[in-house]
Amino acid sequence: MSWYRNTVWFVKGLREYTRAGYESASRHFNPADVEVDVAGRSFLVTGANSGIGKATAKEIARRGGTVHLVCRNKERAEVAKEEIVTETGNQNIFLHIVDISNPKEIWKFAEKFRNEHKLDVLINNAGCMVNNRELTEDGLEKNFATNTLGTYIMTTALLPLLEKAADARVITVSSGGMLVQKLNISDLQSGSGPFDGTMVYAQNKRQQVVLTEQWAKAHRNIHFSVMHPGWADTPAVRSSMPDFYKRMKNSLRTEAQGADTVLWLAVSAEASKLPSGSFFQDRQPVPTHLPLAYTHSPPEDEEKLMQMLEEFSQKFKSVSPG
């Protein structure tokens, strides 16, 4: 069945995920949706020093928002911050150096952030695709640590702050690649069988969809969404998927086109009217499963994922400073 999923997904991608797909979809966009003033609202963007994260942060800054950039690399982050401030004239841009693959760092950051700032919108954009099985200093598989556990801890640690905000939102940047994966809770760290970084990444992205759906049920006063940016020309795609990039580079979306739906979900009034927990592509909620792909999971597996991640997260919280 995996060949069917992969083939259907790729054909769908050629039609919808490329620059041409964006240009076709954007004919139906209402420009007024994102022509808004968000001064006084606070946004946190992870992985904000390049690609879709930086493009999103820049557009929010243009609209007057206070933007917290959460980045791993201090040098690149400072360059990105300077670029955003210079291009937008917005001085309310703050930098935080955090490695999203390090759960102890995330807990420490979130605890400090909760005491010092307010937060209206969290954008979980940081991610990685490591093509060989690599462990972090905590013994966690790197993709899982960053894409799934890092997203889980950042979100749950900041929920108390978001609960205080009016019109609070959490947006997670996922991938259409999750359509080829059924949730697998038996091997979260990809320790058995051959390691395929692309499929591990796709599994992590399926996990993000499940997280979003579960959070939406549990926290009714926060609007949760997860989205696919399409196939965009970003540094991450170039470095992690060189063969795909070489084949598709003339058809890829720009970073701004990839970031468009993230921005729309973050600032537009229209987005918050749509059901919380939805998966979005080009400003529209879309199905989270391909037809006949058999990727649906039993509810008990989805609940078990949340339980397992909570256990992981608490283990690292107990040894964090603060």
Residue 71 has pLDDT above 70, yes or no: yes
- For residue 318, the model assigns a pLDDT of 59
Residue 300 has pLDDT above 80, yes or no: yes
- For residue 4, the model assigns a pLDDT of 79
Residue 320 has pLDDT above 70, yes or no: no
Residue 98 CB coordination number (10 Å): 19
Task: Provide the domain limits for residue 108.
Answer: 3-315
Percent of the chain whose predicted confidence (pLDDT) is above 70: 98
Average pLDDT, the chain: 95
Out of 4, 152, 201, 245, which one is annotated catalytic?
A: 201
Q: What average pLDDT does this structure show over 261-290? A: 98
**Is 201 part of the annotated catalytic residue set?**
yes
Is residue 204 assigned to a domain? yes
Per-residue pLDDT band for 233 (boundaries 50, 70, 90) equals confident
Torsion sign over Cα 130, 133, 139, 141: positive
Is residue 29 assigned to a domain? yes
- For residue 96, the model assigns a pLDDT of 98
Rounded-to-integer distance, Cα 61 and Cα 37, Å: 10
Which residue pairs from 161-166 have beta carbons closer than 8 angstroms and sit at least 24 positions apart in sequence?
Answer: 161/113, 161/114, 161/117, 161/118, 161/119, 162/119, 162/120, 162/122, 162/222, 163/219, 163/221, 163/222, 164/118, 165/118, 165/119, 165/120, 166/120
Is residue 322 assigned to a domain? no
Rounded-to-integer distance, Cα 69 and Cα 57, Å: 8
- For residue 256, the model assigns a pLDDT of 96
Upper half-sphere CA count for residue 260 (Cβ side, 13 Å):
22
Is residue 122 assigned to a domain? yes
Q: What is the DSSP string of 9-71?
A: HHHHHHHHTSHHHHHHHHTT--GGGT----TT-EEEEESTTSHHHHHHHHHHHHTT-EEEEEE
> What are φ and ψ of residue 213, in 5° steps?
-65, -40
Query: Which CATH number belongs to the domain containing residue 292 in this structure?
Result: 3.40.50.720
Is residue 320 assigned to a domain? no
- For residue 1, the model assigns a pLDDT of 56
Strand partners, 284: 281
pLDDT digits (tens, 9 = 90+) for 178-216: 999 999 999 999 999 899 999 999 999 999 999 999 999
pLDDT digits (tens, 9 = 90+) for 252-264: 999 999 999 999 9
- Greater model confidence, 15 or 143: 143
- Domains contained in the chain, number: 1
Residue 5 has pLDDT above 70, yes or no: yes
pLDDT digits (tens, 9 = 90+) for 139-187: 999 999 999 999 999 999 999 999 999 999 999 999 999 999 999 999 9
| Alpha helices by DSSP H, the chain | 2-16, 19-26, 51-62, 74-88, 103-116, 142-143, 151-162, 197-218, 235-240, 242-248, 255-267, 299-317
Residue 52 has pLDDT above 80, yes or no: yes
